[in-house]
Amino acid sequence: MSIRYIVSIIVLVLTSQVWAADFPTGSLKGVGFILEKDKLRITEKDLHVFSLSVTIVKLSDGSYEFTTAATMQKSPSTPLKTDRRVDIYKVVWETPVAGKLINNNVAYREDKTNFTIANKELVLKSWIERNQLWETHTYSLVK
């Protein structure tokens, strides 16, 4: 093996460990929401009530617990919907600012979630298999 090859492998290993250490943790406020199914598109601007947050806790190398809380209401005359969900994801980095989340719960294995970290925001874009729709959550990284 050449020295260049060995150095490349060492740099790759060290860089991927740096990326994994940079995944955001703590409580993040939701600042955006998009639901897309066929031609239907609903955003937080279409809702009468919108509140979204996530608390991310690092469990081990590459494994994180996400506790998501959401409150939404389409209009004053519709029911207020609240949801709280806990998921454990494996973070797979594809670039220094993006990758995918793999849900440990087998019930959600067909769901696909990609993330990007840019402009002081964490964006999670998910394909929800059981509902056949795209759901995007945007969280502020500014405390």
- For the chain, list the domains and their CATH numbers: 3-140 (2.40.128.20)
- For residues 135 and 30, the answer to whether their CB atoms sit within 8 Å is no
Q: What is the pTM of this model?
A: 0.82
Termini Cα distance of the chain: 47
pLDDT, position 84 = 97
pLDDT, position 121 = 97
Please give the share of the chain, as a percent, with pLDDT higher than 90.
80
Q: Which of 3-17, 62-76, 78-92, 94-108 has the lowest mean pLDDT?
A: 3-17
Helix H segments across the chain?
3-21
Q: Which of 7-16, 70-79, 109-118, 120-129 has the lowest mean pLDDT?
A: 7-16
CB proximity list for 6: less than 8 A, separation 6 or greater:
none
- Which of 142, 111, 110 lies closest to 125 in space, CA to CA? 111
Using DSSP's 3-state secondary structure scheme, residue 22 falls into coil
Q: How high does pLDDT run on average in the chain?
A: 88
- Summarised one tens digit per residue, pLDDT across range 13-56 is 444 444 444 899 999 999 999 999 999 999 999 999 999 999 99
pLDDT, position 1 = 54
Whether 12 has a pLDDT exceeding 70, the answer reads: no
pLDDT, position 61 = 86
C-alpha distances out from residue 77 to 47, 52, 82, 100, Å: 12, 21, 16, 38
Beta bridge mates, 101: 91, 113
